[in-house]
Amino acid sequence: VFHSASCVGTLLDRLCHKVEIVEIAGESWRLKEANERTSRRRSRPPKPPG
């Protein structure tokens, strides 16, 4: 999409020029759910062949 890394850098500079960064403390719900999905996959018994 972008022709060079400098184009991406320029775009990010313009997007972030007057931005306020809000830091949120606490556990990420997405990370928590992803970890739960991963642990469920590991705990499943293997499928029978056939």
Tens digit of each residue's pLDDT (9 = 90 or more) over 7-50: 999 999 998 888 888 888 888 889 999 999 888 777 666 667 76
What pLDDT sits at residue 45?
65
Domain boundary assignment for the chain: 4-43
Are the CB atoms for 8 and 2 separated by under 8 Å?
Answer: yes
What pLDDT sits at residue 50?
64
The 3-class SS string of the chain reads: CCCCHHHHHHHHHHHCCCCCCCCCCCCCHHHHHHHHHHHHHHHCCCCCCC
Q: Centre a 10 Å sphere on the Cβ of residue 21 and count the other Cβ atoms it contains.
A: 5
What pLDDT sits at residue 8?
92
What pLDDT sits at residue 17?
86
